[in-house]
A and B are shown apart, each in its own frame.
Chain A
Amino acid sequence: MRQPNSQPCSELMLRETASQTAGPYVHIGLALDVAGLPERDEEIWSRMAKPEAEGEHIEVIGTVIDGNGDPVRDALLEAWQADASGWYQPAFDLQKAFNSFGRTATTAEGNSEWSLTTIKPGSVARGDGKVMAPHINLAIFARGINIHLQTRLYFEDEVEANAACPVLGAIESPTRRQTLIAKREEVDGKVRYRFDIRLQGEGETVFFDF
């Protein structure tokens, strides 16, 4: 039976449901605490690694900046990353020490930074045998973003792995490659990586189609 609100693109295939912006109130659905709603028993949020998780514990922090240079204060981000050994852990379970998936949001106040508490991922092998440098896949949703933007965060101190990464290498402009490299900082003895996402204009972050 034909799907009632779907559209065929051929005899054999349906069209994907069309995307719409997540809007200014995305937090009600995906970030309840940010909206001011009480949280449910379990929420999907930004603490991807507990203290007992294996690997180097890091914080990842950043802003989202629009084409005017102003912070985007209502963005929601989703992260997907490998564990310290370079394996994705699809089974999401808050009882586990580490989850490959997390969510975070920029804040309405202050510096409007998003942050994730996680571990540094390992290098990930690709099917063709090439090795991708450690990275975190990020999706950005917000009011004014009609279909989510997809990018990758790489690490400044992985110079050799970054130079050999086939995905970074596929970005034609070496200048633009640099937009995907998070800067290492140490704050109170803890390792933190800063990754500011520029949606438009000078220093515009590379966004991927896949």
Chain B
Amino acid sequence: MQDDNKRFVERDRDWHPPAYAPGYKTSVARSPSQALVSLQTSSVSELTGPDFRQLRIGPHDNDLLMNFREDPALAGAAGLPVGERIILFGRVVDQFGKPVPHTLVEMWQANAGGRYRHKKDGYLAPLDPNFGGVGRCLTDEQGWYRFRTIKPGPYPWGNGINTWRPAHIHVSVMGPSISTRLITQMYFEGDPLIPLCPIVQTLKDPEAVETMIGRLDMARSRPMDCLAYRFDLVVRGELQTYFENQ
């Protein structure tokens, strides 16, 4: 058999947000009402996943200050996006603290005014001609990833009469198999909008919210250049199955 002498720590579905979370109104009609069917015997279908080491990743794919520059010939401050310059970095580890090397981390975000470069976003804050809002990279041998970007702005949305999303960056990680696949959002430490957000509130456990908070890291900030936020990603732990179940 192909790679099926392992399994992953069971996903704790009370830790993650439930499908039906009425405070986040869009979830009401998009949540299954039937129970999930648990696969008791894992198979290669769930224990494997794509390895992106051969994907051609461009030199600025993880640098959002540079990857949408209107005119690539510009130098210095000309053609840079508006906003607080930040480094977003962290480590992808599994639940046992084992680094996850060479895994794909993707991210997307609004610009400094809280506007997304998307056909469907009509918020009145302007687009930034020098900001696209997408990044990707592979983790290194020790599981580290890094992006350079600007801090996104908060923005209003139509869930309630006056609801605002805290500043956030969407982060997507593959991990070693499709069982570890995860998409989350990183929020910024200390943002007063975090506890007010209906999407954050889909989580029942305040400690689960803590896993989504990027921490200011002054040691890795660059003097006279940019602040750094550290955001580690923990994916499901991988276990070896040493004994045949017979």
Partner-B contacts on A (CB < 8 A): 3-7, 9, 12-30, 32, 35-37, 40-42, 44, 66-68, 70, 72, 74, 78, 80, 82, 87-88, 90-95, 99-101, 108, 124-128, 130, 132, 135, 137, 139, 141-150, 152, 166-167, 170-171, 176, 199-201, 204-210
Q: Is the CB of A208 within 8 A of B38?
A: yes
B183 within 8 A of A: yes
**Would A147 and B16 count as touching, CB distance under 8 A?**
yes
Q: B234 near A16 (CB under 8 angstroms)?
A: yes
Chain A residues with CB under 8 Å of B118's CB are 24-25, 27-28, 35-36
B83 at the A interface (CB under 8 A): no
B234 with A6: CB separation less than 8 A:
yes
Scan residues 41-57 of chain B and give those whose CB is less than 8 A from a CB of chain A: 41-46, 48-57
8 A-B pairs closest in CB distance: A29-B108, A144-B26, A144-B30, A146-B17, A101-B50, A93-B54, A67-B29, A209-B36
* A88/B44 contact (C-beta < 8 A), A3-B234, A100-B50 known: yes
- Contact assessment for A66 and B39 in the assembled complex, using a CB-CB cutoff below 8 Å: no
CA distance A28 to B232 in the complex (A): 22
Cβ of A12 to closest chain B Cβ, rounded Å: 7
Determine if B30 and A200 form an interchain contact, defined as CB atoms under 8 angstroms apart: yes
The reply to whether the CB of B209 lies closer than 8 angstroms to some CB of chain A is yes
Contacts of B119 in A (CB 8 A): 35-36, 108
> Would A209 and B38 count as touching, CB distance under 8 A?
yes
Listed by A's residue number, 16 A-B pairs whose Cβ atoms lie within 8 Å are: A3-B91, A7-B211, A15-B15, A18-B212, A23-B170, A28-B133, A35-B118, A37-B134, A42-B57, A91-B51, A94-B55, A94-B56, A125-B1, A199-B32, A210-B42, A210-B46
List the B residue with the shortest CB-CB distance to A204.
B34
Closest CB-CB distance, B151 to chain A, in whole Å?
17
A135 to nearest B CB, angstroms? 7
* Cβ-neighbour of A92 out of B54, B108, B170, B230 (below 8 A): B54
Q: Which residue of B lies closest to A206 (CB)?
A: B37
Contact call A200/B178, Cβ cutoff below 8 A? no
Q: State whether A126 touches B21 (Cβ < 8 A).
A: no
B172-A30 in contact (CB<8A): yes
Please indicate which of the listed interface residues A18, A78, A125, A141 has the most CB atoms of chain B within 10 Å of its own CB: A18
Main secondary structure of the interface of B (DSSP, over half): loop
**B-side contacts of A66, CB under 8 Å:** 29-30
Q: Which of A3, A19, A72 contacts B232 (CB 8 A)?
A: A3
* B-side contacts of A166, CB under 8 Å: 41
Contact of B51 among A67, A90, A167 (CB under 8 A): A90
Task: Kindly list chain A residues whose C-beta atoms are within 8 Å of the C-beta of B225.
Answer: none
- Known contacts A18-B208, A37-B117; is A149 also within 8 Å of B32 by CB? yes
Judge whether B134 and A80 touch: CB under 8 Å: no
Question: How near does chain A come to B197, taking the closest CB pair, in angstroms?
Answer: 10
Sample of 8 further A-B pairs with CB below 8 A, known A29-B108, A144-B29: A16-B95, A66-B29, A126-B43, A126-B44, A145-B19, A146-B31, A200-B29, A209-B11
Whether the Cβ atoms of A128 and B41 lie closer than 8 Å is yes
Kindly supply a per-residue 1/0 record for chain B positions 203-232, scoring 1 wherever the CB is within 8 Å of any chain A CB and 0 otherwise: 100011111111101000000000000111
Contact of B211 among A18, A22, A147 (CB under 8 A): A18
Chain B residue nearest to A127 in the complex (CB):
B4
Contacts of B178 in A (CB 8 A): 78, 80, 137, 139, 150
Complex Cα distance A191/B19, Å?
34
Q: Which of B30, B91, B181, B184 has the most CB of A within 10 A?
A: B30
Minimal beta-carbon separation of A9 from chain B (angstroms): 8
Q: Which residues of B lie under 8 Å from residue A171 when comparing CB positions?
A: 37
A24 engages B215 (CB within 8 Å): no
Residue contact B40 to A143, C-beta cutoff 8 Å:
no
Chain A residue numbers with a CB within 8 Å of B233 are 17
| Highest count of chain B CB atoms <10 Å: which of A17, A41, A68, A207 | A17
Q: Does B9 belong to the interface (CB within 8 Å)?
A: yes
